[in-house]
Structure 1
Amino acid sequence: MASKSDQLLIVVSILEGRKFPKSQRHTLVVQAKFDGEQLATDPVEHKEQPQFCTELAWELDRRTLHQHRLQRTPIKLQCYAVDSSTSAKENVGYIVLDLRSVQEAKQPPKWYPLLSSKYTKLKPALLLSMVLENDTKQLPDPFKAKKAPPRPGSPVLANLESVKLEAVLNEDEGYHQIGPADLCKDMFILSVTVAFATNLEQLISSSAKLASEGSEFFFFYSLLDNDVTSEPFQNLISPNFEPERASVRIRSNDKLLRAFFSQQQNLQIHLCCGNQSLGRTDIPLAALVKNSVDLAKEAATTEGAFVLQPPNRTKQSLQSVPVDLQPTVGVAIILRREDVSAEKSPAVDIHPEPAPAKTRPRSPSPTHRSPVQPLTSPPPDHQHSGSEAESLPEDAEHVEPKKSGLLLAPALAATDVALESEADIQASSITVSAPKIAIPASAHHYCFSMDLRSIRHLNVGFPVNCMLRYAYQFFGSAAPIMTNPAVEIKKNTEVFLPQSYCAFDFAALPNQLQDTFLRIPLVVEMWHRDPSSKDILLGTCSIQLSHLLTSEKTRFLGRSDQQHWRQTYSERLPVIKAQGSNEKVAELSYVAVLEDMGLVKAQDILISESSLSGNQVHQKMAGAPHSGVEVAAKSRETLEYKAALELEMWKEMQEDLFDNQLKQKELSHMQALAEEWRKRDREREALVKKKEMEYNLLEEQLQKTLADLEKREKTLAHAEMETQRLQRETRAEHEFSMRELQDSNRRLREDCAHQVELERLKVRQLEEDLSRQQQQLTEAETKYKLLEKDFQQYREQQSTRPEIRLQSEINMLRLEKAELERKLESTTKSKLHYKQQWGRALKELARFKQREQENAMIRLKKQQQELEHMRLRYLAAEEKEAVKNEKHELQDIRNELNRLKQQEEKRTWKEPVCVSLNENADDHLSRLLEERDTLLRTGVYTHEDRIIAELNRQIQEIILNYSNV
């Protein structure tokens, strides 16, 4: 029995795999078999790089290991794909490990490809290592540590990691509860904001087919089992949608909430078109519950621009795209307590009534959605001023001013405003209710909107309560526009500004608008609001509105189905320090929109008191002296004054009628042009649709052709790979059989040499016995001669003795002689027998060696014959095609011969001998063809053989004879 130190362990480490296909329904298991004992790994996921990380070990001693190495016992690893539903196993490949390569020194792991793999195109492999270890078994330690005592406190809070937390909806009170009711004392708000998106066109491939032609795009995500969709938009290149926030109320406590979010998966946000997902991004929720954030004092945030990944393409599809062109979506996730002030959060949380058309919860839930940038309302002291810009509703694309008229641009108002004095109004019979403005016919109605979105990269040494302020008198408003309330900004954060959207409706000439935008920038001031002191001006940012005029124009229809134009421009600008230096304080992101509503149609436009000059207001409010009024009254009673007044009124009426006729003609011409434009636009759209249908039809045909070509290519590649696999397997089997043959021959030689050595030892021993017997025989003969000599001497000496005594001595000597002769004969026979045995053994050894060599040669010839037969089969298949072609030619010749025979049948009575000769030649040709085909089908003969060449020559001669006849 082997000692303790001779016990070994063969350890096979199965680390990982590569180039496996991904399958959700299957798991991978590796089974290892050695010396009749089978071990297996635990099931792992069937993915591209499965992680096994398993060690399989077999126990044996050194002597057994030496025997296994002499016998070349393999370790065979079988890889199975196990169906998760039916538990059915399918063999996907195997690996054979050579036991002779295992060593006691640890070797680095190697990749072993799977043989006879099911996945032939991928060529999967396993990372394996083998090592010999000493089996040093130790006795178990009798000491066993006691279990730690339970910690004081709630058992639920002590084992949060093992408890599965769920969000339970409370429909009556409108919140989700996480954890037991007795521990949930605090109320939290979780909000998700989808703010912006860029480079979404990268997600659309040339072969992608969207749901329908008029489908809209939107973002979709699930917030605590509530499906939320963003505002739909139609332009992927410049996505224009209102940022909205979806919020839910959660009742829980700090520890339970941290444990719940640590167990949650990532938040998946999808870009959708109909029911199709164009891309998604995963946002980890674990950052919301990091220990550095105290939810009792501040809000936990996760925000940034996240890259959208396409669903059905590999990650390498976006690696060639630059970082600044990758599709991204800006998302901010905020978790805060309900009693924490909203100003401490990056954005203000607003909870209006739920919007059922945009939020589709799976169950009734308190999920609310609200715009992130509320609209700017005027300050209290200017709320009722006619010169203020009116706040617009959320949909800024289709807004209408709340006032009945437009704000006139200051330059235009100063040019064409005509006021009468109050004295003239009192003396005249005409009542004027408001100042009257003469608007040029070429004036346009414009709507300008400014959205100051966010501030980032703050470069100030203290937290800032930021408030932005700007004014632009050209829009008809002298009052400044301010963002309210102030937002706290810290370093390395980007904060979206609340109430930063404002729109202005005004009338102006196009060239006047262009000249003003080129000359006068819009200056935005950045203020720090300090409750304990005065506001501090941190810096200014000059926005060049001329960029808006050079941006791309897009069409849209107004409420009366009239065509309008919109221009949009957005960028990030540095905020420069106010003290005169060029130091950058922060970066401001804004979006400016200019909408051209066409020519102004309203006749009466409201003018605010702020747009009038001080002299005009003073003239309006001040009264004339009493005496002047009386003089004016007397002068207006004359007939000349009345006639002049009637003439002026008639002129003014005619001018109004003429202007109205011109405007009606212009309107009719514009309507005719618009109708013609719509007609041509419809024709172009029909032509484009027709071309698109033709292109789609051609594309489908091309895709079908490409699919057929790919299918044929795959089939050919599969057949080629299968042929290569068969060749490799045949070559491997041949090499394995040759190695087995060489090993068996070597073992046979060693056995024969051992037997020969044993026989030689026996022969040597027999020769030693023979020499010893010969020596004994020589000694006996010498002794016999001495005895005979003594006997002669004794006989001579005892010649006087009686004859009977002498006779008895002679008899005794004869008996001894006979005994010695018998022994000599026996020894001679033994020597002859051993010589015969030795000769027989040598003959048997020579015969056995010859028989083994003959068997090896027979097996080798058999394998060569099989390879030759395989080659002949291929040649026979090619020859079969050639034979078919020759048979077709022969059939044509026979048909021609039959036709000639029919022609010659009329002359059979003249040439009977020729017909019989032709029939004999036809039979001879058929017999030759049949003999050649029979010889070729056997696989023994080829076209290069002499007998086949002779048959072909005879066949050609007969055919030539036919053709000559």
Structure 2
Amino acid sequence: MASKSDQLLIVVSILEGRQFPKSSRHTLVVQAKFDGEQLATDPVEHRDQPQFCTELAWELDRKTLHQHRLRRTPIKLQCYAVDSVTKARESVGYIVLDLRSVQEVKQPPKWYPLLSSKYTKLKPAILISMVLENDTKQSPDRFKAKEAPPRQGSPLLSNLVPDKLEAVLKEDEGYHQIGPEYRCTDLFVLSVTVAFATRLEQLIPTTMKLSQEGSEFFFYYTLLGNDITSEPFHNLISPNFEPERASVRVRSSANVLRAFLSQQPDLQIHLCCGNHSLGSAEISLSGLTKSAVDMEKQPATVEGAFTLVPPNRAKLKLPLIPPELQPTLGVSVTLRREGVNPQLGSPGRDADEPQTPVKKGIVSPIPPRSPPPEQRPSVPELKGMSPVPDRNSPEPCPASHHTESEAESLLEDRGQAQPVPAVALLIDPVAGPSGPAGAQVYIEPEAPVSSVSVSAPKIAIPSSAHHFCFSMDLRSIRDMNVGFPVHCILRYSYQFFGSAAPIMTNPPVEVQKNMEVFLPQSYCAFDFAALPHQLQDTFLRVPLVVEVWHRDPSSRDVLLGTVSIQLSHLLASEKTRFLGPTGEQHWRQTFSDRIPVIKARGPSEKIAELCYVTTLEDLGLVKAQEIIISESSQNVPPVQPRTGPPPRQHPDVSAVPPEPRETLEYKAALELEMWKEEQEDLFDNQLKQKELSHMQALAEEWRKRDREREALVKKKEMEYSLLEEQLQKTLADLEKREKQLAHAEMETQRLQREMRAEHEFAMRELQDSGRRLREDCAHQVELERSKVRQLEEERARQQQQVLEAENKYKQLEKEFQQFREQQNTRPEIRLQSEINLLTLEKVELERKLESTTKSKLHYKQQWGRALKELARFKQREQENALMRLKKQQQELEHMRLRYLAAEEKEAVKTDKQELEDIRNELNRLKQQEEKRPVKDTPGVPLNESADDHLSRLLEERDTLLRTGVYTHEDRIIAELNRQIQEAMSHRAAH
């Protein structure tokens, strides 16, 4: 057991992200996988800069860490966008962290871009830091209770499936466990087979140099947390690699396993070159979760040819690929119960399934098509090409014996059970070019059995018989739907053509679902003699039955289905005229069609579709009436007797002719033939010598032209390489200029935003100050108005008092007049005293009236001064606001003009500086060329300048640093920095 100090924690801190699109419906989750253990962050908002702020840690000791570093085990971070409504997860991208770069010293976090990102335009990235920490916590020795099994009385608990399922590796028992232990009752085998790949060269970008990455290619994918790589191969144009199958044993139940697969993302298979992914294919595992598939009897399979998609087509500058040239990858994913045969789906003893990838012979080559009947050679060559049964296939034998294949034994039973309407026999073309066609055999249709015997070397042919040539081309088969890959062969026999041996396609071809496969060696031609009415009658009554078989090297053949081809359609097709080799006129009929393949056992249903082409040629009447039977045709089965008139018998010759070898004519003919053979040998030798001399001259001329072409190709390659370097430099300059322009544009936009914000802030301040002034003025006016109202009330009250006083005065005066009139008789002193009193009252009232009038005038003056002061204050504030606004506008205009002038001056200064630098550099180079010859820079190849060498070193250092595997402290980065400093010092020296 490892000591306490050897326990470590690998801590991966996922801090934040950048350049993510905003989505209110989704949340972001980062899921990390390492050593079979899977951790995930909490869901965060899907916005431009999501804040994860999560630490993920894995426990291990130093020995295990060292083993992982030797195996280069990666830490894979997968980013998902989770729909908040449907809870569906969609992969946004992934990041692969190198475990070798993790150190115990804490390093600053780095930005890692998402690979295979869904958001190609934004280029999102995540800020991540990694560190090794000592695990000092005490392991609790508590008792951990196991989960209680469900009660037998509740059937609902047996159907419950946990929401979150994980695959836990059981190293001691050799399988992955999915789900609770009490639910894991069955063993399953999950297999992934990479079978073939086509058109992989379309994935190579134009800017990628394979010499820098290595010439080995391989496939990479992850299966239940296990990173799997295939055997490397080197040729992309015609990839030649053995199909590989990776299998993992899983302990679970059918329902839990279906739920686990439905939660898993699509299986991604990457085509890799070094550390780069050239393309990936996504295989949906939804087909494995179909509940209709009974895994007790047959496996669940997802297979087909899937398109490989580059990770970022615009970034890698890949051209658009038409659909017919898209790279494809043949993959088969199978899930079966342990103990079920993966090929036939029948239960039995299961083969050993290793946990590492094993090679299994699953190939699917596309054979070349057989030539169509329209492109066949002339009739004599067709006779030479008439196919015979496959010599490797067993011949038909009686039913009491067993053949090697179940297909052949079943065909024997079917052939013996059917009647044999033999009308003609297959022509065995063994005649030489100059000899007669004595190997052709024709059987008269109505001849009894006794007319064909071993002792009879000749057969009579009716004069009305025609020479027919029938050809069959089984071109392709497609849409095979039987639930497993089929190694297909086709077989048929039509004894009307005179051959009882079956015709077979060979070798077997693999046919998968949703694929069309062309059949090899599927063209066959039959030459036979028959009467036209019998040919029509036979074609109308007897169909040609083609049987589809599955050949498995480890078991017996299986009959999948049959196809019944009605040859009557050929008779109803249009006739075309053609000329024979001797100028004779013949007729040809051709018919092609696609017909379904009917299942052999069970209900009649379509399992595939067959494409075929049939041709019938009528070559006219048969000239020979008696044909010698060759040995190759003596093993033909006997012809069944038919009712009808007996054939015509030729009369025997009664007179015995003399021995032909004893005549003089025979001897002279023999000498002539020997002389002819000698002359032919001499002529052949002369022709061979002339041919040899001509071939030598042609070979020498071909070698000479080949050398010229090679020299021209090398010259063109050098020119192309130079043009490519110039183009790459130009592209680099354009990219640099584009980046500078983008940066300047971003800076201008930033300044515009700042100025707009300042302007808006100033306008808001101005509006606030105006609003406050208006409020203050309104408050002052309201106060003055209240004071005016009070003064008006006081004035009205004083006026009322004056009126009352005047009325009182008038009343007193009236009373005084009355009193005076009444008191005329009183003494004068009394009257004078009363007058004095009244005078005093009058003076007092006048004084009050005068004071009231003065206060009224004072208040009127104060109110007028207040109104004038308010008008002056309002006018002064408006003038001040207008002055401030004009001043701000002038300042903004001056700032804009100063910025434009500065920018224009900076651009002119930059252009002048660049022109001056270029002029100085040209003068310096001219002076160097005049003073001394050009010397090769040490450490730089002859065909590469110092600038190119420096740019190449910079590009290599930046490429290594961008991978995230190397840092500035690594040895190779330090070496590259040293070489860069040397190159720069050498360049400055020269």
Which TM bucket (shorter chain)?
0.3 to 0.5
- Please identify the structure whose Cα radius of gyration is greater: 1
